[in-house]
Amino acid sequence: MLYYALMFLVIGLIAGALNLVGFSTVVVQISWILVLAGSLVLLAIHVIMGRTTRLV
């Protein structure tokens, strides 16, 4: 999911550089939503698994 967010961000930056403002705005917003969703999923997995540091 974070991979797709990065790809949408790159596409949005390229579209912004080419002055495609409407398309760029939509793509960057999609990437932001995907980053938030991916971060929440990773946080939930971390909390559920209850990882702690291992003592060697």
Model pLDDT for residues 23-51, shown as the tens digit of each residue: 888 888 888 898 899 899 988 988 888 76
Average pLDDT over residues 13-28: 85
Question: Rounded to whole angstroms, how far apart are CA atoms 40 and 22?
Answer: 28
Overall number of domains in the chain: 1
Whether 53 has a pLDDT exceeding 80, the answer reads no
55 assigned to some structural domain: no
54 assigned to some structural domain: no
Total-model pTM:
0.66
Average pLDDT over residues 15-19: 86
56 assigned to some structural domain: no
Residue 40: per-residue pLDDT? 92
Please, are residues 9 and 42 in contact by the beta-carbon 8 Å criterion? no
HEC string for 29-51: HHHHHHHHHHHHHHHHHHHHHCC
Domain ranges, residue 37:
2-49
Question: Rounded to whole angstroms, how far apart are CA atoms 13 and 27?
Answer: 9
